[in-house]
Amino acid sequence: MVIGKGGKEVEELRTRLNTITGKNVHINIVEIKKPDLEAKLVGESIAKQLEARIAFRRATRKATQRSMHVGAKGIKVQTAGRLNGADMARREWHTEGSVPLHTLRADIDYAWVEAATTYGQIGVKVWINRGEILPQRKNKPVASKKAKGGN
């Protein structure tokens, strides 16, 4: 959700929710620093472009280039459906960088979005590799050797 200048839209949203629920509603706003690293936002932008009749290859290529330029380690975009109005539905992928789906420590963001075109629904799946999640290691104290008593 996009908030306008000065949080004017937040106040309107808060008053609407208060009237609907009949209770006092608190809203926490979280700012997204790099929207090109969020799979849901990238997928929604591709879907909007597809609905505006932009070629799917151009939309996916531009999205992958933007994400890689911002700092993603890799991105994979899959579009499926009647691409460019074809009679037969198909799937196409566009991958850039590395997207290790079997690596548990990789920070992979995934989203699935649908674009409603005049030819039907087109599904857009996006995987973004943001890097690795490294576990924080606790420094274990080194056990000192006990001095042996005696002469």
Distance of alpha carbon 151 from alpha carbon 136, whole angstroms: 45
Query: Architecture of 34-132 per CATH?
Result: 2-Layer Sandwich (3.30)
Cβ neighbours of residue 136 closer than 8 Å, sequence gap 6 or more: none
pLDDT of residue 63: 95
pLDDT of residue 51: 96
Q: Residue count of the chain, please give it.
A: 151
pTM of the model: 0.78
Backbone phi and psi for residue 119, each to the nearest 5 degrees, phi listed first: -90, -10
Q: Which residues of the chain have pLDDT under 70?
A: 1-6, 140-151
pLDDT of residue 146: 64
pLDDT of residue 38: 94
pLDDT of residue 6: 64
Q: What is the pLDDT of residues 103-130, one digit of tens each?
A: 999 999 999 999 999 999 999 999 999 9
Ordered by start, the domain boundaries in the chain are 1-31, 34-132
